[in-house]
Amino acid sequence: MSGFPSCPLPLEEYPTITMAHGGGGAIMRRLIERMFFAAFDRGELAGGPDAAVLALAGGELALTTDAFVVSPRFFPGGDIGSLSVHGTVNDLAMVGAEPIALAVAFVLEEGLPTQELWSIVSSMAAAAEECGVRIVTGDTKVVERGHGDGVFVATTGVGRVVSRWPVHPERIRPGDVVLVSGDVGRHGMAVLVARGNLGIASDLESDSAAVHPAALALLREGIEVRAMRDPTRGGLASALNELAAAARVGFEIRETDVPVDPRTAAIAELAGLDPLYSACEGRFLAVVPQEQSERALAVLRQHPVSAGAALIGTATADAPRVVVRTAFGTRRLLPLLSGEQLPRIC
């Protein structure tokens, strides 16, 4: 590696990037901590929230950025265009921010049909209008045929923080409860069916949607939300493990209380996958004080995107880990996987 600075990763473990490095699991976490944190971290990145909160004169702004490489680009319930908008505004909402504007960058592959690009761009415009945000700037690059996969999209979002208190995992305390805004695992299984690998038909659609109306309603109703997280790559299980590590608490989840659509469960069983690790793109977790849980659920259920909200577990004083209490009364660990069980779902 002559000519390069010394790499902070143990190169004998992974001398090259693998698909697992983008999967949302333990391998990706090590890459972020040992590579990106080592190079960039000045305290802002620690804890890993979905967006950064910047203190400015007159208030606080939130900033987030994301890239989208979903395959296939069109799937039941959405496409890479609408997904890029939903994913970005959702990340802003997870730190208590109302989305204001987006920037977008396209990496296009030579040979991409222009009609397909127009469909993606139109979908993105419609999603932005529905979310109440403007797409205000961007960039376009084209790579040679065979050097991309049609189109990749990168978005940056800025939002206005509306929460009166920090929404951050460090505020989670034992005894707090975990709410989920709806059924989990739907997006990952919808994308899997769309790929045609299973050879089955299903009317299951992705849950891709903007969650900020419901998430911000909690804050505006005075619910003291400790932390929020959208369970994208790695699903509910990975999101809970990330919160546990950042908050230095445990979580105990009741399996029978976690909402899973029967179609999601059936597809996951057929594919040998666990729906608790399957991605969502229109759901979020909220950790709130136990005494405010019923009121929080009532607020969430007033919004279509979170009408199926449920209380699924509790934060504990145990070591940072996630435990599931099964339908049989036994307990099992829900660890962070090494990689994503289904890559390129967002």
| Per-residue model confidence as pLDDT tens for the chain (346 residues) | 456 677 776 666 777 877 677 666 778 777 777 777 777 765 555 445 666 777 665 678 999 999 999 999 999 999 999 999 999 999 999 999 999 999 999 999 999 999 999 999 999 999 999 999 999 998 889 999 999 899 999 999 999 999 999 999 999 999 999 999 999 999 999 999 999 888 888 999 999 999 999 999 999 999 999 999 999 999 999 999 999 999 999 999 999 999 999 999 999 999 999 999 999 999 999 999 999 999 999 999 999 999 999 999 999 999 999 999 999 999 999 998 876 678 889 9
Cα 62 to Cα 151: distance, rounded to the nearest angstrom: 27
Burial of 343 (0-12, 13-18, 19+ CB in 10 A): middle
> Is 229 part of a structural domain of the chain?
yes
CB 307 within 8 A of CB 315: no
The answer to whether residues 286 and 259 belong to one domain is yes
The answer to whether residues 5 and 125 belong to one domain is no
The answer to whether residues 177 and 316 belong to one domain is yes
The answer to whether residues 175 and 319 belong to one domain is yes
| pTM for this prediction | 0.87
The answer to whether residues 68 and 145 belong to one domain is yes
Cα 22 to Cα 343: distance, rounded to the nearest angstrom: 8
The answer to whether residues 258 and 303 belong to one domain is yes
The answer to whether residues 31 and 64 belong to one domain is no
Of the three residues 161, 193, 223, the one that is the final residue of a domain is 161
Residues contacting residue 48 through CB under 8 Å, at least 6 positions apart: 32, 242, 246
The answer to whether residues 100 and 187 belong to one domain is no
Q: Which domain holds residue 232?
A: 169-333
> Is 59 part of a structural domain of the chain?
yes
Q: Which residues of 96-131 are buried (b: 16+ CB within 10 A; e: fewer)?
A: bbbbbebbbbbbbbeebeeeebebbbebbeebbeeb
Of the three residues 130, 161, 192, the one that is the final residue of a domain is 161
The answer to whether residues 8 and 97 belong to one domain is no
The answer to whether residues 209 and 319 belong to one domain is yes
Comparing CA positions, the residue from 329, 294, 335, 319 lying closest to residue 179 is 294
CB 87 within 8 A of CB 70: no
CB 286 within 8 A of CB 218: yes
- What's the total number of domains in the chain? 3
The answer to whether residues 220 and 265 belong to one domain is yes
Biggest CA-to-CA distance, the chain: 60
> Is 234 part of a structural domain of the chain?
yes
CATH number for the domain spanning 147: value is: 3.30.1330.10
271: helix, strand or coil: helix
The answer to whether residues 197 and 323 belong to one domain is yes
CB 217 within 8 A of CB 303: yes
